[in-house]
């Protein structure tokens, strides 16, 4: 059953604010990125979602189109963000078939749960390549189109843009590296790199009118990340560690996306918007969670009980 509006976007946003705009999203078939795109489509945009799994990407594109009658969502499956040639072909097809690329979401990511001792060099490299190189390739493939859009939809912060906004990119990151996260060494390093890349894009392309920002979700219920990297029996304890007292929702990430792409965020550039209910302030090693820090590290045992574990060793 298609999602209802209240599940993916708040009522505060006016319908049609992204009319005739185009969103290009890597990782677009994922549980968070797909809802980011769905909200944009509901509010008038068309989109292209990029993924490696062809069938999954096609099914998600068809589902997203139910958000608004007459919308267009291209399913660009079989694309590997680690290949600039593959990603460039996807960007060019998006611009050709939909007319432009006005907004970009760099959301492709890789992750697993394991101590550094149990992560092979290839596994570490894989996470870095998907997250950091993939984000860089996304910039390389779309920056020309974003510059065109930014020039077309200039904003001065005073006059309401008559044709809306454009020339904006959001990187989907995480808070893992802020205070350090046990058994998340590879993605922590990768997300730190993504944040740094977003800042570089801000510095080098801000003068062209482009805004480059980061959304860092915390624990979001019903997502692939929470399903793969957490134990269900520890959910209650996890929520108690969050100042807001609960896990977030995908709608709250989508609303943040709409904000950063909208007229309301014209002067927001090079920033990291953390959407986690204050969770990272109580993160770090804490009590060790389900794995009993530091005792678990001394056992040498592989992580069990979660789908996103990794058993390979150095």
Q: What angle do CA 269, 274, 279 make, to 5 degrees?
A: 165
Give the Cα separation of 120 and 131 in Å (integer).
17
Contact 67, 40 (CB under 8 A): no
166-203 core/surface letters (b: 16 or more CB in 10 A; e: else): bbbbbbbbbbbbbeebbbbbbbbbbbbbbbebbbebbe
Choice among 135, 149, 173, 216 that is catalytic: 173
SS3 per residue for 147-178: HHHHHHCCCCCCCCCCCCCCCEEEEECCCHHH
Residue 173 falls in the annotated catalytic set: yes
As beta bridge partners, residue 46 has 22
The Cα 53–Cα 87 span in angstroms is 14
Q: What are the distances in angstroms from CA 89 to CA 42, 93, 137, 283?
A: 26, 6, 12, 40
The one catalytic residue in 21, 100, 191, 310 is 191
Q: Is 313 labeled as catalytic in the residue annotation?
A: no
Cβ neighbour number for residue 69 with a 10 Å cutoff: 6
- Known catalytic residues? 173, 191
């Amino acid at each position: 059953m298609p999602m209802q509006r209240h599940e993916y976007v708040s009522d505060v946003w006016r319908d049609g604010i992204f009319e005739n705009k185009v969103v290009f999203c890597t990782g677009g078939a994922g549980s968070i990125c797909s809802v980011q795109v769905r909200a944009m489509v509901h509010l008038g945009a068309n989109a292209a979602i990029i993924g490696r799994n062809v069938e999954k990407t096609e099914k998600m594109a068809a589902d997203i189109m139910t958000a608004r009658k007459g919308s267009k969502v291209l399913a660009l499956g079989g694309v590997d963000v680690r290949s600039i040639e593959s990603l460039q072909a996807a960007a060019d097809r998006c611009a050709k078939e939909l007319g432009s690329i006005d907004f970009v979401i760099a959301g492709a990511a890789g992750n697993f749960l394991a101590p550094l001792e149990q992560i092979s060099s290839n596994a570490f490299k894989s996470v870095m390549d998907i997250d950091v190189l993939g984000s860089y390739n996304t910039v390389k493939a779309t920056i020309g189109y974003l510059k065109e859009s930014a020039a077309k939809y200039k904003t001065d912060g005073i006059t309401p843009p008559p044709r809306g906004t454009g020339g904006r990119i959001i990187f989907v990151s995480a808070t893992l590296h802020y205070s350090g996260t046990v058994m998340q060494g590879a993605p922590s390093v990768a997300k730190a790199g993504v944040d740094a890349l977003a800042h570089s894009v801000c510095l080098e392309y801000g003068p062209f009118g482009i805004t480059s920002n980061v959304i860092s979700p915390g624990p979001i219920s019903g997502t692939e990340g929470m399903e793969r990297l957490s134990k269900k029996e520890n959910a209650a304890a996890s929520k108690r560690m969050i100042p807001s007292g609960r896990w977030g929702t995908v709608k709250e990430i989508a609303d943040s996306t709409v904000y950063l792409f909208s007229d309301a965020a014209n002067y927001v550039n090079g920033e990291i918007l953390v959407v986690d209910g204050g969770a990272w302030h109580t993160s770090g090693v804490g009590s060790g969670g389900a794995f009993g820090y530091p005792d678990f590290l001394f056992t040498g045992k592989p992580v069990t009980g979660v789908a996103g574990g990794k058993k390979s060793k150095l």
